[in-house]
Amino acid sequence: MEPVQIEIVRVASDTGGGNQDITTTKLRGQIPKAAMFVLTYAITDGTVANHAVFSVGAATAVAEQWVVSVMSENNVGTTESRRRGATDECVMILNPAGAGAIDGEAAFVAFIADGVRINWGNAPSAAFLLEVTLIAGRSVTAKASKFTLGNVNIAVDVNTVGFEPDVLFTACHGTRIDDASRTDWMLSHGVVLNKASIVQLSYAQQSYQAAAASRLTSRITDDYGIMQVWDGVFNWGGEFSAFDAQGFTCTSRIGDSNDDVAFLALAFDNVVDFSAAIIDSPTGNGDQTVTNPAFLPQYVHVGLTQMPAIDTLYTDGYAGAIGISMFDEDDEYSQATADEDAQGTTDTQSLSDNTAVNLPQDDGTAGWVASFVEFNAEGWIWNFTTSLGTAVKWWYLAIEKARSPRYGFTNFQRPGVI
């Protein structure tokens, strides 16, 4: 059994409902400790599907799961954008034409040998492509949960994790996660690292409901692990600090929050390192090498945007496309959505592909396409076949490949501590 092993698998959502087992042959019988679920409205690799739908969820137990989901309907004269979340489901597909109604949703049932079992209590209308990250290993501790931020500059002590996290994945849809449908597309996704100097990165996007023409706002930052933007305004940023044996602290900056923040907390018992940073997309094609991690990764998770600068509010076409890229040693997938700005008749799409990056521009035309080449001692190489002339900002998280003691390598110290 590996001390830390992360594998990615993608399946078609089961339209028949009931239990669906999602497994990989690469875990060699291990039972995972955590799973992350990413889904858009796409059903065919590399083919743009009408309507923007994004679902991000996580699970570590039946009582430890969450999902946030957003949708924006295509080809309507007045924008139709909604959001919804739950803590008893890990996948949620909103109906683009249903005013926030649910098209399909699944709850975590159990971890099984080589994978995870979910239950479609509400069967989806189509076989949407569902991407699952499985996190296993004897050195992994994990918990999926949420907390509620407070007023501006009020620190919230999140002491219910039960261990000191190394990595936090974060997600928020701008309100309480209480299975209620609300207007407006609002989504933020980020990562926080417990290093000597805390690393916290996130992007946020908002699409206005009931507007005569699509109105977008987006932002990417290296100051906050989660945040909210709203109609051309940066509302609040969640600043993470003070990791300890029970969890961490998060403070709302800029403005009041009072919103729920979902998280997946992971600890690796000091056996692997982890790195996160904001990087530039390439401006040309061919092999591109990323050396920021400075170690041999086993897994990379990238927050994709088409924003050229960090800490800048975009309310134009640069605000319209976001995505998530994930790849391990032999699997690569990309999920993205696009919403064209300032359109009297909405133009929204979803895109999934079995390549490391396929991020369109806001109007759905080709933007950035790349395949994963290899991991190396410094990071990774990916090969771009499509890119634009302006570099845009993406954040990444990389997890090191565990070094096995049987080959004479060990890692006993907390990464970043001498």
What's the pLDDT tens digit per position in 353-399? 999 999 999 999 999 999 999 999 999 999 999 999 899 999 999 99
Task: Report, as an integer, the average pLDDT of 87-93.
Answer: 98
Q: Which residue has the higher pLDDT, 402 or 300?
A: 300
**Residue 343 forms part of a structural domain:** yes
With a cut of 80, say whether residue 234 has pLDDT above it. yes
**Residue 329 forms part of a structural domain:** yes
Give yes or no for a contact between 252 and 149, defined as CB atoms under 8 angstroms apart: yes
CA distance 188 to 260: 11
The pLDDT confidence band at residue 404, using thresholds 50, 70 and 90, is low
Task: Report, as an integer, the average pLDDT of 111-119.
Answer: 98
Task: Report, as an integer, the average pLDDT of 331-338.
Answer: 98
- pLDDT value of residue 57: 98
**Residue 415 forms part of a structural domain:** no
**Residue 418 forms part of a structural domain:** no
- pLDDT value of residue 24: 97
- pLDDT value of residue 417: 39
**Residue 332 forms part of a structural domain:** yes
Of residues 27, 293, 253, 9, the one with CA closest to residue 137? 27
**Residue 417 forms part of a structural domain:** no
CA distance 27 to 32: 8
Q: Residue 66's domain spans which residues?
A: 5-407
Burial of 291 (0-12, 13-18, 19+ CB in 10 A): exposed
With a cut of 50, say whether residue 136 has pLDDT above it. yes
> Partners of 350 in the beta sheet?
49, 337
**Residue 289 forms part of a structural domain:** yes
**What total number of domains does the chain contain?**
1
Measured torsion, CA atoms of residues 104, 105, 109, 113, in degrees rounded to the nearest 10: 60
Task: Report, as an integer, the average pLDDT of 95-100.
Answer: 86
With a cut of 90, say whether residue 407 has pLDDT above it. no
CA distance 298 to 379: 10
- pLDDT value of residue 411: 42
Phi and psi (nearest 5°) for 305?
-140, 170
Question: DSSP label at 112?
Answer: E
**Residue 412 forms part of a structural domain:** no
Of residues 4, 132, 113, the one with CA closest to residue 58? 132
